[in-house]
């Protein structure tokens, strides 16, 4: 009879752990208007950010917040994609404004980036421009 309270306690603990996992977003959502085509409109640059792969093909990794300079673009999750147009000029495309790439984008250009993640949940941004990492300062 004492097994019932132990079983019930185990179920409650498992439920709390699993419900905590639901607070981690893995899906992609975009705040800026989504670019309509594969080419930028006249006078704009097209920015594309592809999300990371699932780790080991099994586990989904967290969605990360992507910024264009200080403007929040959205969250990109595993296998997700963000696409937006912007004016030409200096751009820092980054994760949380901390890790990313800096580049001078030109009108009519398309700039593709990829979020990489190793098994230790260390993220990086691959693509055109110069890498920066404000976490190392």
pLDDT confidence of residue 103: 98
Task: Identify the pLDDT of residue 65.
Answer: 95
pLDDT reported for residue 119? 64
The pLDDT score that the predictor gives to residue 117 is 81
Q: What's the rounded Cα separation, in Å, for the pair 85 and 90?
A: 14
pLDDT score for 26: 74
Domains of the chain: 25-136 (2.60.40)
Q: Which residue in the block uniquely carries the two structure tokens 């097994």?
A: 3
Tokens of 89: 């000029």
Cα separation, 91 vs 101, whole angstroms: 8
pLDDT given for residue 34 in this prediction: 95
* pLDDT < 70 regions, the chain: 1-25, 54-61, 119-120, 137
- Pairing relation of β-strands 45-50 and 81-86? antiparallel
Q: What is the pLDDT of residue 104?
A: 98
């Amino acid at each position: 009879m004492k097994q019932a309270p132990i079983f019930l306690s185990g179920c409650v603990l498992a439920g709390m752990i699993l419900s905590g996992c639901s607070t981690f977003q893995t899906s992609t959502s975009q705040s800026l208007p989504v670019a309509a085509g594969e080419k930028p409109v006249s006078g704009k640059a097209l920015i594309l950010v592809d999300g990371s792969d699932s780790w080991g093909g099994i586990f989904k990794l967290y969605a990360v917040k992507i910024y264009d300079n200080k403007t929040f673009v959205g969250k990109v999750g595993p296998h997700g994609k963000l696409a937006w147009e912007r004016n030409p000029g200096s751009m820092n495309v980054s994760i949380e404004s901390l890790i990313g790439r800096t580049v001078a984008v030109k009108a009519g250009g398309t700039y593709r980036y990829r979020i990489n993640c190793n098994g230790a949940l260390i993220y990086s941004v691959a693509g055109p421009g110069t890498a920066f990492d404000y976490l190392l300062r």
